[in-house]
Amino acid sequence: MENVKKNGRLVALENGDLSENFNTVQKVFLGLQNTLGMCGVILVPILCGLDVSVTLFCAGVGTLIYQFIDKRMVPAFLGGSFAIIAPVTTVIKEMGLPYAQIGIVAMAVFYFLFALLLKLVGKERVHQIFPPIIVGPIIMVLGLSLASVGVEEAVQNWPVAIITFLIAVCVNCFAKGLTNVLTIVIALVGGYIVAIPFDLVDFQPVLDAAWFGVPNFTLPSFSLDENWWRAVLLIMPAAIVPCLEHIGDVMAVGTTVGKDFTENPGLSRSVFACGVSTTLSGLLGGPSLTIHSENTGVLAVTHLYSPFIVACGAAWMALLAFCPKFSALCGTIPDAVLGGVGILLYGMVTSVGVRTLVENRVDFSKARNLAIASAILILGIGGATLTFGNFSLSSMAFAAISGIILHFVLPGRKPAKAEQKDEPAA
């Protein structure tokens, strides 16, 4: 792969990757940027009633396990799945955390079954089910579905959010070399400092927190009583949501870094790796794990595509789980600062979806393509969900399924080989 000059003194690979400009020690510390970019990982445990430090540890170690099983090829960072919030909260309230943990482990079993299904289906069939007209809008929904989160955070204090956003944009567009690579860190630190005069930062939780503390790990219930089975039946079906989202996330990461991860290491291996990580998380008291789009945004902004850097970020997160001050510090970052950075990150993810459509020359003069894209975008962004008791099919999954059905039902679909032939070479 040829090198091209980019970004001041830094040299980028053909796909825009700047990672090779840095030695191992530098990459270790650059991983901290991915850690900070994943601050939102604490939201799932807060909403579910799980321990934040345990979640940080499970997300960090789970990502390392994922990297190992995926042959250290996919620069993905795992975090808690939002699909579990409703069923896990219900089980914790009615039966207790140990039973919820069994349900989360059961979700991992579903992951394994889904991975086996993908293996049996094969790569060509997967591409037939997920052509660019499906993948592009799904990736766009991944980013746009987070838009409301970014705006809701930013609206807490628009001046701080706007300044934080402008810092990120200016560094990303005008800075050169290492400064450009550290866009997210500089924006977070800059926004944090700006927020202090606005009285948005409370340092007391950080001062009160200890420097060292072991996360509150808990074991699941192994008593095969009625509650045990109820917990499994309530939580396990929710696994269909992160499984479907996982496909879109892997494709989004692949499009961002210019590689086809559906072929190597393959979707089945990726889902299986996520299942192994979720098993460990469930056994320790953490949430089910899935790829987080926030890290995809970090990749798009920094152009640091090295899985090693992401793995270093995961290792930092696992270590910092033993530092209550870090958890407390993350909690003091004002919503407006996170919103300012989020507007750029989530927008970058959305742009990757647009790029997928453009690079694959999807013809929007065809009515079927307009119908498929419209259904996915409106259902996904509009928040359309299907609820059956305690099980809820997220808007992301609902949109993806609807798009796939339309793709196979509407006339004009080309065979898998023909579709791949029409696509430009990667």
Whole-angstrom Cα distance, residue 206 to residue 166? 28
Whole-angstrom Cα distance, residue 116 to residue 253? 22
Question: Helix (H, G, I), strand (E, B), or coil: what is residue 78?
Answer: strand
Looking up tokens 């961002």 gives 256
Which band of pLDDT confidence, cut at 50, 70 and 90, is reported for residue 5? very low
Within 10 Å of residue 179's Cβ, how many Cβ atoms?
Answer: 13
Within 10 Å of residue 351's Cβ, how many Cβ atoms?
Answer: 16
Within 10 Å of residue 341's Cβ, how many Cβ atoms?
Answer: 31
DSSP state of 264: I
**pLDDT (tens digit per residue) in 357-377:** 998 889 999 999 999 999 999
CA of residue 146 relative to chain centroid, distance: 11
Looking up tokens 């069939």 gives 125
Inter-residue contact 65 to 265 (CB < 8 Å): no
Answer whether residue 382 shows pLDDT above 60. yes
Q: What is the largest CA-CA distance in the chain?
A: 64
Q: What is the dihedral of CA 310, 313, 315, 321, to 10 degrees?
A: -140
**pLDDT (tens digit per residue) in 302-336:** 888 999 999 999 999 999 999 888 878 877 888 89
Residues above pLDDT 90, as percent of the chain: 31
**pLDDT (tens digit per residue) in 166-224:** 998 998 888 776 677 677 778 888 999 999 999 898 888 888 888 999 998 999 888 87
Rounded to an integer, the average pLDDT of 49-78 is: 91
Sequence-ordered strand ranges (E) for 31-114: 78-80
Answer whether residue 257 shows pLDDT above 60. yes
CA of residue 132 relative to chain centroid, distance: 20
Whole-angstrom Cα distance, residue 291 to residue 286? 15
Q: What is the pLDDT of residue 344?
A: 85
Answer whether residue 391 shows pLDDT above 70. no
Which band of pLDDT confidence, cut at 50, 70 and 90, is reported for residue 282? very high
Looking up tokens 């991975």 gives 115
Mean of the per-residue pLDDT values of the chain: 84
Higher-scoring residue by pLDDT: 193, 412: 193
CA count, 13 A, side-chain hemisphere, 42: 19
Helix (H) or strand (E) holding 77: none
* CA neighbor of 340 nearest in space, from 164, 208, 173, 103: 164
Whole-angstrom Cα distance, residue 316 to residue 321? 9
Answer whether residue 158 shows pLDDT above 50. yes
* CA neighbor of 38 nearest in space, from 342, 266, 340: 342
Inter-residue contact 85 to 238 (CB < 8 Å): no
Q: What is the pLDDT of residue 171?
A: 86
Domain ranges, ordered by start, for the chain: 21-132+157-337
**pLDDT (tens digit per residue) in 6-52:** 555 667 677 678 888 889 999 999 998 888 777 767 767 876 778 88
Question: Helix (H, G, I), strand (E, B), or coil: what is residue 391?
Answer: strand
Answer whether residue 259 shows pLDDT above 60. yes
Question: Helix (H, G, I), strand (E, B), or coil: what is residue 258?
Answer: coil
Whole-angstrom Cα distance, residue 421 to residue 415? 10
